[in-house]
A and B are shown apart, each in its own frame.
Chain A
């Protein structure tokens, strides 16, 4: 099975992920309900959805950390099952090709120093020492954190933690990068830094799947937007098309209208994100 993954060549025709009627329950609560989705190599996809829509669960299934209760999820044709991941060859090949950046960097950063953190993945995959040293230094330079290499991750700022968490996965140079809310809780400057890093890393052949509910970064991170609601796909289109569909966004709880008074006259704003929206006071 490992050979099957290793022998695959990345090309635009290759299906990276194929989810068919995937169901997943968490403590008897349905998190994914018959979700179907196909992801081709080199695509940049945004998974949009409100809290609890199933975005994070889907990413964890795609990273083979959880496994579907029903339906099938395949990576390059190989079913992602518990049994498959028990095979060391398959598991290491998969981990080499698919990386997940967790939403909460405090969960992801568990090593004593930043350097150890970035070196953790390559060490687990058994890379040669010289290559690990070279790649870790290069990756730290890439995120502008060489001066932080001896610092303990828990002592970093929120933006620094996020960049180190990103570096700890990107150091493996995976073909597929899964990002769970990469810019959540970051100040505007740190948000821009993370997005710029992602843009500079992607050589056009990487598959990047980003779960987010921040519509303002949609155009920068994706060419395809998949909207999830209650654990199923409710829309799959170009970002501009999705952003133009106010009804869809409202029904998926991605935007909300609010009412307020201007000069004593009550009126309604449908969305702060839809910049084409004009209203008269």
Chain B
């Protein structure tokens, strides 16, 4: 990736070609991250992806070749979400489909309700808690990668993850976790 940035940035046309290549590699993962961070607002997430790649083009001189490229672009993405939070506050409105349970049986209904509440609790987290939570449990980044992206220490990342989960737990403690699964994949 560093090679792409170096070799293709000599002229404007080649820089655009490099940008298209980067877009092909990272846009889907970035779009998924933005959708989760922006409360499923797909259109806004698409705009953010476009804006992010334009930022990459403008600030390519700020890229440190010693660091991983995806950490850099996810750091930019995280900062964009932080700015959006500052300007618009918490985006806590959930899509209408998350509250429709009409045709579900009781067990599925309860589970859906729990997942809906979990979704809402994640959306209501503070930005720095939500960022690490989404990166870790929804985008499956390693702890070290999250530390790079958020430019913080490993201990800080663990602490934020713990408190983020704790806040969600407090909000959902009235749910009976009888449906908990055995899908623990954490390393």
Chains A and B belong together in one complex:
no
Chain B interface (Cβ < 8 Å from any Cβ of A): none
